[in-house]
Amino acid sequence: MEAAPSLASFLSQLLVGLSRAMILFIVASGLSFILGVLRVPNVAHGSLYMIGAFAAHSIATALGGHPAGFWAAMAGAPLIVGAVSLAAERLLFRHLYEREHLMLLLFTFGLALILGDLTKMTWGADYRSIVPPPALQGSLDVLGTALPRYNLFLLLVGPAVALALWAVSTKTRFGKIARAAAVDREMVGAIGINVSWVFAWAFVLGCVLAGLGGALVSPTISVTLGMDHTIIIEAFLIVTIGGLGNIGGALVGSLLFGVTQSLGVLVLPQFAIVFPYLAVVLILTFKPTGLLRSVW
Amino acid sequence: MRPERSLSPARLWAFGLWLALFLTPLAAGRFTVYILGVILVTGLLAMSLNLLVGHGGAYQFHHGAFYGVGAYTAALLITKTSLPAWVGLAAGPAAAAAAGLLIGSLCIRLNKLYFGMIQISLGSLLWILALRWYDLTNGDDGIHGIPLPEILSGSGPTFTFILLVVGVCLLGMHRILESPFGTTLRAIRDNPQRCAAVGINVRRHQLAAIGIAAFFAGVAGVLFVVLEGSVFPDMLFWVLSLEIFIMCLLGGWFTFFGPMVGAAIIVLLRTVVGGYTEYWTLILGVVLILLIFFLPEGLMGVGHRLRVYRHRAAGAPSRGADRAAG
């Protein structure tokens, strides 16, 4: 008598955790990619995620709740974020690459402060949310458990992004150059490649992923100011336990983070959010460089 | 090799200023005295970070964690136990130093940026505990109305106490940086491999520096409790840690008083600008980026360079970079 409901709640919590992990992965993989190529922890990443969520809401609202509005938002918001990051990189960031890493980190922090307030100016402090298209509303019945369709959709998107990112970094010319530039910037420049633009596109690609994460999360949470602060800490933790710059590590870290938290709800609801942090501490105590190999 | 042990003009000026500040509660209003207290506490925190980052070369990304540990230890011991308040106030820095050594021993195994990332992770664990352990910490609301010893009641005595403690701490930090230990620390910052090669235990020195810096951050945390009578989880949040970096950058790394100057400017700017606009963060971000582009050495750093030029113009040899501003 007890088994059935607890299996159902286990399954639905697992799905919540996995779909949360997919969002975390999309954001963290962007952070990890930038770390791998530019060697900069991009503190502004969380702000770009927040801008992605707000922009998605604006696009969906502008199209008046038409189902296509959702898809336009999912495509348009990352592009807006990409444009913002490209502007920041070309106008400011590229002049700093020769500086110490601490300065690069502080620059991205300055960017985060500015983008945070610009978001407040543009969208205000209201709570917003997006309605997914009819095809992704409601839930599917699996083993007697109602699983929300949108969460299942995220389970498809996450691996797709992982696959695409893996393909870009290992199979394309750009990916190979970017990884080479990460190891030896001068050498790559010496063979006639414009390293500055390689870094720019690597930065933009990472930031676009933050924007995509923000757009995808917008139907599941209320979009509001302050969502940048929590995601950036979570993304930092994930890339650290995964191995800095390792995209596969970001996937492992995200799954660990999302699932420990959602299953923790079943054990100790009040402290559910502490579980992933404890997992991080345990991992770092025994394996300080992360679970998978760092690219550094 | 130490010709000007305690008589350099900068030190005399600082000492004179410190003495003069004792008079402010008599002359100035409550608000001015309060803001001066905020500057001293924040400045001590920034100087403790600079001890480690500017002189030790360690990427201490989450220094605010130790500030928070000091403050929360004092607040919890005072409100949750029947121990005398002084015990709580004294335990704060000790707990911060212990946390520094514990977290430091996990971070120290790794190189610069990894060190910083792991520290953000571990510090954030403390933040999330302060935020979520509602029964103990009151969560987001923080702990308010912390009862303090009778002698610290009123803004005048509070300020005098803060000024005294900050003065002692500055003296202590200065002694540490001038000692052989401080010299070794700077040598490690400049060339860790060579230091290891000549037989210096690099990690042990850096770990000790982390413990010392965390201790002084804990003192700043306790002084925050004395000043405000409350603590908040935001004290442990990573945003605060990076804000302290801005103060060090503005005042000048590698200089002794720089971070205090930076803290004073930021606190004053926030007090003034915050009265006109709700977009203070935007202004802080712009200031930070301008600093990175145009003033990476900070105000004191530039001052030092000007002095070196003038010395050179007058035919005098320049002094060592890290001694000049002391």
ipTM at complex level: 0.87
Contact residues, chain A, for B269 at CB < 8 Å: none
CA distance A22 to chain B (A): 20
pLDDT of residue A292: 82
Contact residues, chain B, for A99 at CB < 8 Å: 292, 296
Q: Do residue B53 and residue A102 have CB atoms under 8 angstroms apart? A: yes
Cβ contacts of B227 within 8 Å, gap of 6 or more: B34, B37, B38, B41, B158, B162
DSSP three-state, residue B147: coil
CA distance A40 to chain B (A): 9
> Cβ of A271 under 8 Å from any chain B Cβ?
yes
Q: Give me the residue label for tokens 């978001």.
A: A119
CA distance B132 to chain A (A): 7
* Burial state string for B136-166 with b = 16 or more CB within 10 A and e = fewer than 16: ebbeeebbeebebeeebeebebbbbbbbebb
Whole-angstrom distance, CA of residue B313 vs CA of residue B218:
44
Q: Residue A259 CA to chain centroid, in angstroms?
A: 16
CA-wise closest residue to B90 among B184, B198, B225, B209:
B225
pLDDT of residue A255: 94
Give the one of B132, B282, B292 whose C-beta lies nearest to A103's C-beta: B292
> Which parts of chain B sit beneath pLDDT 70?
1-7, 315-326
Q: Chain A residue with minimal CA distance to B57? A: A102
For the cut 80, the answer to whether the pLDDT of residue A115 exceeds it is yes
CA distance A216 to chain B (A): 25
| pLDDT digit string, tens, across residues B173-220 | 999 999 999 999 999 988 888 998 998 888 899 999 999 999 999 999
- Supply B293's token pair: 């582009």
CA-wise closest residue to A32 among A151, A177, A187, A178:
A178
Whole-angstrom distance, CA of residue B292 vs CA of residue B286:
10
Q: Do residue A92 and residue B114 have CB atoms under 8 angstroms apart? A: no
CB atoms within 10 A of CB B273: 14
Residues in chain A: 296
Average pLDDT over residues A85-109: 89
Whole-angstrom distance, CA of residue B26 vs CA of residue B81:
35
CA-wise closest residue to A157 among A56, A22, A48:
A22
For B73, the enclosing helix (H) or strand (E) is helix B64-80
| pLDDT digit string, tens, across residues A244-291 | 888 889 999 999 999 998 888 888 777 777 888 888 888 888 887 778
A111 confidence band (pLDDT: 50, 70, 90): very high
